[in-house]
A and B are shown apart, each in its own frame.
Chain A
């Protein structure tokens, strides 16, 4: 398939998944703040911190109030990772590959986009929880429609890789938010508030119930283990990366366990490491440090995939035998 098309389907899925994840952690924070005891300052800055765009935010908005952060992450036209921007880019990408994707997928993206545009025009605070629910559902619907209506061919695998890669990255970031909450309030560890925050975190990864079924008690190490290493939970980092790996090898036809390009090699290496990692290893390195490393490596894998499949600026050769 065309490199440009593969690139577009990959990003279409990444953007949809990104919008979903932004909605998740804004929504959870919104809920979390309602549970804070009186007198405790609201924590909105960590959300911006995890996006890596704190500098941009501070320049434009100054103070990290609930209103500012929500606007920045949700409706800011100029911020490239806001939900609005994600949907705009997802739709542009979908438009450029309409003949490849199913018409149901296109309609889903279109509907999703209009939902955001409508909300951008008038977004009363009271309607926000419902709005974020709609965003999450729309993202699920898109993924479901894609899986159910599109041939699971090369194009589908590129889309699938985009979605799961983005999800791995965002699970790492969501987990990292907790680290930044802890920074100003180390004395909270083990308190009821701490419990509530871990629950909130699990909820923002839609992992709460699944976690309970497996572990019952909410213990920080167990939560981290579940979200990083669980082999069956569809939002755990390891699960996501293994899915990416399977799609990647489907595309190239290289059997798992060997590699034919640098993306396969980096990803294979990371997956093997995770397969043999236990949570104690991670705590030893430091959760934040570990997550930071994972994010960097996932980024590198993305770049290598780009070099392998998407680079389209071949030298413009014109050599014609007359």
Chain B
């Protein structure tokens, strides 16, 4: 049976590939045309081959709270999401603007706190943010850059507009899937890559390495860069080892490192060797048991002091988590106006802050319509999707909000855009989001073309997180 995309119906949703039934968007036309020459069986075979390739490559993640601790492959769909070149340019501009502002915010908040003094953000919000680290006050990271690597989650609503859902400035993951998905797509559908001008993604590791090398003191001729992982049981371990491998640097665990003679050193078969730059994929509170959690085995004793002395660079800088707080997020448009004197190019999702009484009352009355999120959780945990919730769940969340209003925000349920997706032998629309990766290199901010498109595989679902059963799609940005 041939692929009948002409009957595909975007319904009332914004569809990334279709304007209306039978009418592909112009930038998707040649893909659709090509796909219609295939049979559903062929499509299924391609999908099976691709999934097997990912499994053999071990492109897996671990699911927490899972007794087996099993690794799963991140389910992968072979119909790509395509972004038009002109549209991407606008997104790119908006993301750069946001990262510049966030970086200035971090520098300010750990230094003079002008934004608080000028009354743009309440002090209590900053000081109660879990990611606000007192040991980082008055600390200046190398070149004044805090957020070297950011993964910003974007969604497109029914109105066709993009909205920023959140900024991930601590240790955003997923970029390895972007690269591996592309590798698999290229070997599955080489023909189509020849006919469409898709921006390549393979140079991410080079950009990342440059970003990291830039952090080392200029006096060091050949700086030693390492990737610090919590170890093989971490859900993103595959990515840590993948990035180290792609950059050709060592992948280290906390137990491989030690502070000796005032420097961070790694234990090698030939003795200790100095480390200059650490791309750490370990959360702030675990990186140094002397300053943060004393029970952490993942970090290195004394690392923060070496960092303070400027003898090692950390990416991202400790303390960036304050800007990951979902309450602080609500103030990013304000930060853009305050630090850059510009209007935000990308909008935030309208956000209700439960610590404000009027907002809280509104949220409590409208739990069935809103999405409630804990300020400090990620990965789809600690979240209530009102429209899909039970009375019991809503009551539970109401209690939580009343008990700790600072920790909750609520947003309207967005109607996420959809992309045709191959599900059990049929093509149906599924909701997606997008996480582009942004590197701050000091003199410029680089936005990697595309990013990770996560797709909610369950019909009607809006939850795209891998830990909640989401999948991914290759994301094509076309040359404009």
**B-binding residues in A (CB < 8 A):** 1-6, 92, 95-96, 98-100, 103, 106-107, 110-111, 154, 158, 251, 309-310, 312, 314, 316-322
- Which residues of chain B come closer than 8 Å to A92, judged between CB atoms? 232
Q: Which of B56, B258, B268, B306 contacts A111 (CB 8 A)?
A: B56
Task: Report whether B267 and A309 are in contact in the complex, using a CB–CB cutoff of 8 Å.
Answer: no
A6 CA / B268 CA spacing, docked (Å): 9
Task: Report whether B268 and A318 are in contact in the complex, using a CB–CB cutoff of 8 Å.
Answer: no
A100 CA / B237 CA spacing, docked (Å): 14
Query: Which of the segments B162-170, B194-202, B238-246, B403-411 contacts the partner chain?
Result: B238-246
Q: Which of B30-62 contact A (CB under 8 A)?
A: 56-58
**A-binding residues in B (CB < 8 A):** 56-58, 231-232, 237-238, 241-242, 244-245, 250-253, 255-256, 258-262, 266-269, 290, 301-302, 305-306, 309
- Which residues of chain A come closer than 8 Å to B301, judged between CB atoms? 316, 318
Other A-B pairs, 6, CB within 8 Å; known A99-B251, A107-B58: A1-B250, A2-B268, A5-B250, A106-B57, A312-B255, A320-B305
- Which residues of chain A come closer than 8 Å to B302, judged between CB atoms? 318, 320
SS class, residues of chain A in contact with chain B? helix
- Which residues of chain A come closer than 8 Å to B290, judged between CB atoms? 318
- Which residues of chain A come closer than 8 Å to B267, judged between CB atoms? 2-4, 312, 314
Task: Report whether A319 and B260 are in contact in the complex, using a CB–CB cutoff of 8 Å.
Answer: yes
A310 CA / B255 CA spacing, docked (Å): 12
- Which residues of chain A come closer than 8 Å to B231, judged between CB atoms? 96
- Which residues of chain B come closer than 8 Å to A4, judged between CB atoms? 253, 255-256, 267
Question: Which residue of chain A lies nearest to B255 when distances are taken between CB atoms in the complex?
Answer: A312
11 A–B pairs (Cβ distance < 8 Å), ordered by A: A6-B269, A92-B232, A95-B241, A99-B242, A100-B245, A312-B256, A312-B267, A314-B258, A316-B258, A317-B258, A320-B305
Task: Report whether B253 and A320 are in contact in the complex, using a CB–CB cutoff of 8 Å.
Answer: no
The smallest beta-carbon distance between B182 and chain A, in angstroms, is 16
Q: Which of B241, B250, B260 contacts A317 (CB 8 A)?
A: B260
- Which residues of chain B come closer than 8 Å to A99, judged between CB atoms? 241-242, 244-245, 250-251
- Which residues of chain A come closer than 8 Å to B255, judged between CB atoms? 4, 312
Task: Report whether A320 and B262 are in contact in the complex, using a CB–CB cutoff of 8 Å.
Answer: yes
Q: Which 7 A-B pairs have the closest CB atoms?
A: A99-B245, A318-B302, A99-B244, A98-B241, A309-B269, A99-B241, A320-B262
The smallest beta-carbon distance between B52 and chain A, in angstroms, is 11
A165 CA / B424 CA spacing, docked (Å): 50
A51 CA / B269 CA spacing, docked (Å): 31
The smallest beta-carbon distance between A203 and chain B, in angstroms, is 33
A99 CA / B242 CA spacing, docked (Å): 6
Question: Which residue of chain A lies nearest to B226 when distances are taken between CB atoms in the complex?
Answer: A2
A96 CA / B230 CA spacing, docked (Å): 11
A309 CA / B251 CA spacing, docked (Å): 18
Task: Report whether A98 and B309 are in contact in the complex, using a CB–CB cutoff of 8 Å.
Answer: no
- Which residues of chain A come closer than 8 Å to B258, judged between CB atoms? 314, 316-317
Question: Which residue of chain A lies nearest to B271 when distances are taken between CB atoms in the complex?
Answer: A3
Q: Which of B237, B238, B269, B309 contacts A154 (CB 8 A)?
A: B269
Given contacts A3-B267, A99-B245, contact A321 B58 (CB under 8 A): no
- Which residues of chain B come closer than 8 Å to A314, judged between CB atoms? 258, 267
Question: Which residue of chain A lies nearest to B289 when distances are taken between CB atoms in the complex?
Answer: A316
Task: Report whether A320 and B250 are in contact in the complex, using a CB–CB cutoff of 8 Å.
Answer: no
Task: Report whether B232 and A96 are in contact in the complex, using a CB–CB cutoff of 8 Å.
Answer: yes
A96 CA / B245 CA spacing, docked (Å): 12
